[in-house]
Each structure stands twice: as structure tokens, then as C-alpha cells.
Structure 1
Amino acid sequence: MLLRAALTSLRRGETLAAEPVSASAEVSLKHLAAYNAVCGFGLRDALPLTYPHVLGFPLQMKLMSGAGFPFPLPGLVHVANRITQSRPLTLDETLEITVSARALRPHPQGAQVDVVTSVSGVWEGVSTYLRRTGGSSSAGELERPVGSAVWKVPADIGRRYGAASGDRNPIHLHPLSAKLFGFQRAIAHGMWTKARCLAALEGRLPEAVTVDVRFKKPLLIPGRVEFSASEGAHGWEFAVWGKGPHLVGSTT
């Protein structure tokens, strides 16, 4: 997979011609238990809201490393993720997964595209990826929320989540491999951070829900961060902060 990713380095990002890819999947209880353990979920019949993203990851990589995807994979930044489900999926279902790409568009720092994973007509995940080519962020300063919990993120969380999710990007696995890509240390997966937040809210979200997050500063590991969550009239607002924001999210 890493070799295929490296071979995409000469892409210029001018057109989007990726064809959707599909497959069926069944849930392995052993795999689900390993994923739940590393993210903090309890084991139950209903799948964690973020778990179908992991089941669709091989198809996502197949599509993104294919000829019709506009961006090279090295240096691609996962900047946002939105998950919508109309009902929980369960571990005894055979799942029909389709991955497609859409909405190639400009960004102040380059260009971005959405990779969409659809599962059995009841779950959809939209991951937005940014290809940086220059410019600067126009985002304003965020106000730090009051933390409700302190999390100590261990140095091996990238390797553990990589083993459970299949996402073994070198920036997450070891300080030396992360330094090759410009990071001081390895960084936590954004989707692990999102899953960890939802595990903290487990049992408090409706069965039909949308969870939207923006990934901000990389979370260097090991690290110490504050998790905050507050419920309002329209859903939850939550965030993960260290010296600055790592993730901000909301539910509806």
C-alpha cells in the first residue's frame, strides 16, 4: 500500500476521474474488540459510529491510489470528517460498502476533495483531504473550552490504532519515520482522536446522528490533552486541546 502511495507522487490534481469501488464486508468480533479496546468503546451488538470507516479503509486506499484520483497521497492532509447514520449498524450484518470521490475544489492553501464511504444505505462518512500547494490558513482564533477530562495519550497509540485500523501511515508509527515527513514526533491518527471523543460520549448520542469534526493541530505523541464536551439544544459540542486545538466537533 505504501509503495502504491509513493507512486502517486507525480499527480498534479487538475481533474477528478476516480470510479467508485465497492465490496461486501462482515464484522470480525476479534477485530471489533481490538478496535474498541484501542479507542475506548464498550463491546456491544451495535457498531461504534466510527468503525465502518475502518471497514471501508482498504477501499478508500484502493480508490485514492488509483489512476483517477487527483492528488498524490504523500503529504495529503485529512482536515475534516463527517459521519451520518440513520440507525446503528450491528455486528451480525453483512455490510455493503461503496467508496467514491467528489467535490474537487480550491482551498486557500491549495485544493481539497471529499472521499465518501457509504455503508448499506444507512451510514455515510465524508473525509475531506487537503493538498497543500501554498497560501495560508484564513481560520480565526478559537476560544479554548473548559476541559472536562485529561487524557494521557501514550507513545504507542499510533502503532496500536494502525494495527486495529489498517492505517499504518509512517507519520503515526515511530518518531524516526515521522521526522522524515517533517514532524517532531509521531502523531495520533485524526480518526482515533474522533473515535476517542465518541467513546467518551457513548450512550449519550441518539441512534440517528451526524457527527462533524475538524482536525486542527497534529497531536504529537506521547502527549497530554484536555477533552471538553457540553450538550446544547441541538446536540453536543466537543473538543480536544493541548497547547492549541487538535480537534473541534459537534453532533446534530
Structure 2
Amino acid sequence: MANLTWLYAKAALTGFTRRGSSLPSDVRSLRTTVDREHLAAYDRVCGFPVREELPVTYPHVLAFPLQIELMTGRGFPFPLPGLVHVANRIAQTRPLLASDELDLRVHVENLRPHERGRQFDVVSTASVAGEQVWVDVSTYLRRGGSGEGSSPGERAEPPRPTGVWRVGGDIGRRYANVSGDRNPIHLHALTAKAFGFPRAIAHGMWSKARCVAAFEGRLPDACTVDVRFKAPVLLPAEVDFSATPTGDGWRFALWSDRPHLEGTISG
């Protein structure tokens, strides 16, 4: 398994010199089992009950070191600092269990234009006994190009909240401890300011996991959870959560004075 501390240092020292127009075809893979203490810590941070069934978002943190290893490896065209996580879609065909032995694979694909630069997908999969049962697609934006100054779309009205959450100022550090994602924008106000944020911001994948936890007991065994990250949650924060039933699932969102996350759950 890659050493994330070394990889983040490598990204900071060498990443800004990167240039390129294509993605590498490399694949990173790992066979692993679940550490139940780690799973319990993740559950507590994200609001899930501790149980045998894995939260649909949990394998993302198992695959995360492979993602970072790939994006700091030779041939990857963009510096890691400055990439913006704009979307994440997870689909599972059946629940994963803490007793499952997981074969994880990660690759990058689909480099394409965006109105504010270029975007690409990091695809992570989990298989059990040769059967692929979980797929995670994280979309990242590399800002730049003529569209960077595009004006935002018309402001939408916030949905009616079904809950109000108070998010502590330490949630970035707590999630970093279980996810391995120690990007400095999440850890402290001082390090976040160095990257242009007034305060530390919550991880997008913590926000997604916290939303999914609110549907505990209501998710089908096979489901897809698709989110778009709209604006960072500055810590500490008070955010409105909304959940609306649809024909085949749910629509949900996190808001404060602006939309932070919008998503859907479908069976």
C-alpha cells in the first residue's frame, strides 16, 4: 500500500511542473480485508451505525491510497494540488460485508473539456470472488482555459429542509484520520488560507457519506448514489439537509447560504 504522507509530499514538491494532454493507462490494484476497528471509526465520523454491512461510501476510503498513487505517478498530466472534486457516483449490485475479501482496482479515464478547464474520471471498483459488485466514479476538474471566467448559472431556490446539522470545526481532521485524505485545505484554517479558503473546508466525500447515513434502513441492496459537489462547506458550519422521495428513490441536498451538494439515490 502506498505511503500517503510521502505521496502528498511528492505532490507538493513536484506536481506543479506537470503538463500533459493525455491520461495514463496504468491500473493500481490491491486485495484487502476490512479492519473492523477502522470501519467502526469511519462509521462514527460519518454517522453510520456500526454493523457488518459496509456503508456504500466506505470502499472509497479503501481505494483512496490507490487513487493518490495513480495521480502522483509518472505520466499523470496534472498536479494534484488544485484539482477540484466536482462529482462522485457509486453503484453497488449488492451490499458488501466486513467479512468480504475485496479486490480493488483503480484507473483514470475520459479526459474531456469543461467550460472551466478539463475534467476526468477516477474509476475504482471492488470485486468479491471474481464478481464486480461496487463501482465508484470520481470526477475531477483541472481549472484553466478560456472558459475559466464563465459566469455561474441562475441561482436556484433552496429546497425545504428536513434536518439541520451542526458540523464541527474538527470534522476535516477527524475524517482525514479515517480516510487518509490529509489535504491541507481540510485540516486547519491557516493551511486552508494558503490555498485561498477563509477557513478549513469539509471533505466532499464526508458530506456525501453523512447524507447517505441519513437514509439508513431505506437504501435498497442494489443502488446508485450520485452527487454533485457545488460549493465547499466552511468549518464550523450549520447546514440544512433535505430529502425528497422520487419515483425510484430519493433526491437530497445540503445547503446553507448556497448549495453545497446535490444528489440522487436510485434503485
Alignment of 1:1-252 (within 5 A): 1-6=7-12, 7-120=14-127, 121-133=132-144, 134-136=148-150, 139-252=153-266
CA contact (8 A) 1:99 1:118 kept: yes
Q: By how many angstroms is 1:138 displaced?
A: 5.1
> What is the aligned residue count?
252
In 2, the alpha carbon distance for the partners of 1:236 and 1:141 equals 22
Q: TM-score, normalised by structure 1?
A: 0.98
Q: TM-score, normalised by structure 2?
A: 0.92
Q: Secondary structure at the match of 2:220?
A: coil
In 1, the alpha carbon distance for the partners of 2:44 and 2:171 equals 11
Aligned alpha-carbon RMSD (Å): 1.0
In 2, the alpha carbon distance for the partners of 1:18 and 1:65 equals 14
In 1, the alpha carbon distance for the partners of 2:135 and 2:154 equals 29
Deviations 1:184-222 (A, max 9, x none): 000000000000000001110101000100001110000
- Determine what percentage of the aligned residue pairs are the same residue: 58
Q: By how many angstroms is 1:139 displaced?
A: 3.9
CA contact (8 A) 1:109 1:137 kept: no
In 2, the alpha carbon distance for the partners of 1:119 and 1:157 equals 27
Q: Secondary structure at the match of 1:112?
A: strand
In 1, the alpha carbon distance for the partners of 2:142 and 2:19 equals 10
Structure 1 stretches of at least 4 aligned residues deviating more than 4 Å after TM superposition: none
In 2, the alpha carbon distance for the partners of 1:61 and 1:130 equals 15
User: Any unmatched runs of 5+ in structure 1?
Assistant: none
- Paired letter, 1:15: S
- Paired letter, 1:172: H
In 1, the alpha carbon distance for the partners of 2:20 and 2:80 equals 11
